Amino acid sequence: MNYRHAFHAGNFADVAKHVALVRILLHLRKKDTPFAVIDSHAGRGIYDLASDAARRTGEAQNGIERLRGLKGPEALERYLALVEESGDRLYPGSPLIAAKMLRPQDRLVAIEKHPEEAATLKQVLAPYRKARAEEGDGYARLAALLPPPERRGLVLMDPPFEAPDEFESAAQAVKGAVRRFATGIFLIWYPVKSAAAARAFCGEVLASGAARALNIEIAVDAAEDRLARAGLLVLNPPFGFDTDMRELLDVITPRLPGGKASLAWLAGKP
C-alpha cells in the first residue's frame, strides 16, 4: 500500500468527486428520515496543501485553487464553504465533508486500511458524534455494513487503484454491495488511464443489475506522468442529479486547464 492521497488532495478529480458527494448529501438531507454514509476507502480526512507531498505534485493548483470564491449552484457553494472552513491551507477529504453534513439522526462509517491514515482519520472524526472511523478493509466491511438499518443512504467507493487487479476487486465489491443494498446510492470513483479498461469496469459494475447508472467523466490537461481523466459512476442517482451535475461542471470545468466533462446514462431512464 504505497498510495497516499496527500499527493493528490484537491486535484480536479477530488473536486468533481467532492462536489458530487455534496450534491448527493444535500438530496439525502431533504427528508427527515435518517440516512447512512459508508465511505469504504476514506483516507485521512484532512490534507495539508502546503505539505511536501502536495507541493511535490502541485495538483491542487489545477484543482481547488482555481475554484476558491466561485459563485454557482448550491452544491458548489456548500462545497467551497466546507473547504474554506477547514482552514487556510487545509483540504477536507470525503469523510470530513460527509461528517460535517450529517444531521443528528444520520450516521457515517469511514473505513481506511492504512494504519497511519486510519489513526489520523480517527482524530479528525472524533468531534463528530455520529461519525465512526474504522481501520480495516473497506471491501470486506461493506459486506457487514450493508444494508444499513436506515435503508437510505450512500456508499462512496474511492479505491487507490494502485494494484493491477483493483478494477476487478472494486467491481466485485460493488456487485455484492448492490445485491445487499439495491436501493442505495453508490458513488464510485475510478481513474481513466485506458478508455477500454474504464469501459470494461463500468460494464462489470452494471452487471450488478443496478437499475439506474450515470457515468461522469472529467478531463484536464496534465503532465504525461499525471492523471488527466477520471470517472464517477453513480448508481441510483437522486432525481435531478444529472442536470445539476451538468450545471455544476459547466461552472467548474472552464476554470481548470483544458477542463472538459461528459455525462452519459449507462442504465435506466434519466
Which of 14, 39, 106, 158 is the catalytic position? 158
- Select the span of 101-109, 158-166, 203-211, 223-231 touching ligand SAM (CB under 6 A): 158-166
Distance CA 53, CA 47 (A): 10
Residue 82 in contact with ligand SAM, rule: CB under 6 A: no
Work out which of 62, 94, 120, 215 binds ligand SAM, going by CB under 6 A.
Answer: 94
Here the cell at position 195 is 478508455
| Grid cell 494504519 in the structure block, residue | 115
Supply the minimum distance, in Å, between the C-beta of residue 27 and ligand SAM: 19
Residue 83 binds to ligand SAM (criterion: CB under 6 A): no
Eight-class DSSP state of 36: E
* Residue 10 within binding range of ligand SAM, rule CB under 6 A: no
Binding segment (CB under 6 A) for ligand SAM, from list 69-77, 111-119, 122-130, 176-184: 111-119
Q: Which one of 27, 41, 66, 78 is in contact with ligand SAM (CB under 6 A)? A: 41
Residue nearest to ligand SAM (CB): 93
Cell of 143: 459486506
List Cβ neighbours of 195 (8 Å cut-off, separation of 6 or more). Answer: none
**Residue 132, strand partner residues:** 109
Verify whether residue 158 is a known catalytic residue.
Answer: yes
- In the block, cell 487556510 appears at 88
d(CA 213, CA 111): 24
Q: Kindly state whether residue 176 participates in binding ligand SAM, applying the rule CB under 6 A.
A: no
CB of 170 to ligand SAM, least distance (A): 10
Of residues 14 and 242, the one with the C-beta less far from ligand SAM: 14
Looking at 3, 51, 119, 182, which residue binds ligand SAM (CB under 6 A)?
Answer: 3
Count interface residues toward ligand SAM (CB under 6 A).
Answer: 21
Q: Does 27 bind ligand SAM (CB under 6 A)?
A: no
CA distances from 6 to 15, 40, 46, 54, 150 (A): 14, 18, 9, 6, 33
Q: Is there binding between residue 138 and ligand SAM (CB under 6 A)? A: yes
The CA distance from 176 to 180, in Å, is 6
The Cα angle at residue 137 between residues 133 and 143, in degrees rounded to 5: 95
Position 11 contacts ligand SAM (CB under 6 A) = no
CB-based contact 99:128 (threshold 8 Å): yes
Phi then psi dihedrals of residue 84, to 5 deg: -60, -45
In the complex, which residues of this chain contact ligand SAM (CB under 6 A)?
1, 3, 5, 14, 17, 41-43, 93-94, 111-114, 117, 137-139, 158-160
Positions annotated as catalytic residues are 158
